[in-house]
Amino acid sequence: PRLRRVVDRWRPDALVSTFHQAAQATGRLRAAHGGDCPPSTVVVTDFAVHRQWLHPDNSLYLCVTDAAAARVTAATGRPAKVCGPVVPAAFTAGGRPAPGRQPSRWGTELARIGPGRPVVLVSAGAWGVGRGLTATARLLADAGHLPVLLCGNDERLRADAARLPGVLPLGWIDDLPDLMAASSALVDNAAGQTAVQALAAGVPVVGYRPIPGHGVEGVREMAEAGISEYAAGDAALLSALDRLARPGPGRERRIAAGRAVFVGDAARLVAC
């Protein structure tokens, strides 16, 4: 009812959902009010299309891959188009400094903290969620990397990681595009927004110790799509980073595959 009042007040030309529970609300609204309701587009931000995204009364689904779009249409009977991930332009505008250009703040800081060590981001999402995050950071530091643990809002995780030698733990930051531009790889456990932001920034992604539920499915879907790698254990993680965090053809192929997933303009598809 509250959503209906908002629609009546604003009279929008379209409804757009980017969260699965919002997709349920818009679908139910259209089911109840039919032709007296604007078309509803659901932007499915996950690689794993779990059922909470799906309501047959939404008008259109925008998906990150062909496989995701096919699953949506099979489950709902509604049209689904592929636009790739939706990320802020700051991530695609980044990149490593050109020769002769001054490095970014993060480039300078990370070179000071870990000179000569490949910078590997370890993502824990906004909540600092994950299994064995400090153990992963310690593993990477022992292997010669500079692990930067993104702790989100979890101050306890940040405090625990701060006691580990060779590890840089960070809380919530608002200049992640610059940090990614100074990084060599991302270790990710959810196939969420941080992972696709890394793809846009040209940072190879390795899925490792995914969180239960959509994280497990999403990490594997990303890897099966050929745009990331999935490491099933410590040895596989270090092997993947040996290939992807340092210059070489394997790294370049993975970066190109990641950037190729951005195939459309979501806003234009909504407007059409």
The yes-or-no verdict on residue 104 having pLDDT over 90 is no
d(C-alpha 187, C-alpha 175), whole Å = 18
Cβ distance 161 to 169 under 8 Å? Answer: yes
d(C-alpha 126, C-alpha 131), whole Å = 15
Q: Give the 3-state secondary structure of residue 12.
A: coil
In the prediction, which pLDDT does 94 show? 55
The yes-or-no verdict on residue 240 having pLDDT over 70 is yes
Q: Taking residues 105-123, report their average pLDDT.
A: 93
d(C-alpha 60, C-alpha 134), whole Å = 41
Q: Give residue 125's pLDDT band: very low, low, confident or very high (50, 70, 90).
A: confident
Domain ranges in the chain are: 2-82, 90-259
- Note the pTM of the prediction, 2 decimals: 0.90
pLDDT (tens digit, 9 = 90+) per residue, 25-68?
999 999 998 778 999 999 999 998 999 999 999 999 999 999 99
41 - beta bridge partners?
16, 60
The torsion defined by the Cα of 105, 251, 217 and 121, in degrees rounded to 10, comes to -20
By C-alpha distance, which of 128, 122, 160, 162 is closest to 143?
122
Q: What are the DSSP E strand ranges found in 21-150?
A: 40-43, 60-63, 80-82, 119-123, 146-150
Q: What are the DSSP E strand ranges found in the chain?
A: 15-17, 40-43, 60-63, 80-82, 119-123, 146-150, 168-170, 185-188, 205-208, 229-231
Sheet containing 119-123: which strands, arranged edge to edge?
168-170, 146-150, 119-123, 185-188, 205-208, 229-231
In the prediction, which pLDDT does 126 show? 79
Return contacts of 93-102, CB within 8 angstroms, 24+ apart. Answer: 93/177, 94/177, 94/178, 94/180, 94/181, 94/201, 94/202, 95/181, 95/201, 95/202, 96/181, 96/182
Cβ distance 85 to 266 under 8 Å? Answer: no
Which tokens belong to 154?
A: 């979890």
d(C-alpha 60, C-alpha 68), whole Å = 13
Question: What is the average pLDDT score of the chain?
Answer: 92
Q: Domain 2-82 classified CATH 1.10.10?
A: no
Q: How many CA atoms lie within 13 A of 44 on its CB side?
A: 32
Q: Give residue 163's pLDDT band: very low, low, confident or very high (50, 70, 90).
A: very high
Cα diameter, the chain = 62
Identical fold, 2-82 and 90-259: yes
Q: Taking residues 167-177, report their average pLDDT.
A: 93
pLDDT (tens digit, 9 = 90+) per residue, 78-101?
999 999 999 999 998 755 554 555
Which architecture does CATH list for 90-259? 3-Layer(aba) Sandwich (3.40)
The yes-or-no verdict on residue 105 having pLDDT over 70 is yes
pLDDT (tens digit, 9 = 90+) per residue, 192-228?
999 999 999 999 999 999 998 888 999 999 999 999 9
Cβ distance 75 to 54 under 8 Å? Answer: yes
In the prediction, which pLDDT does 103 show? 64
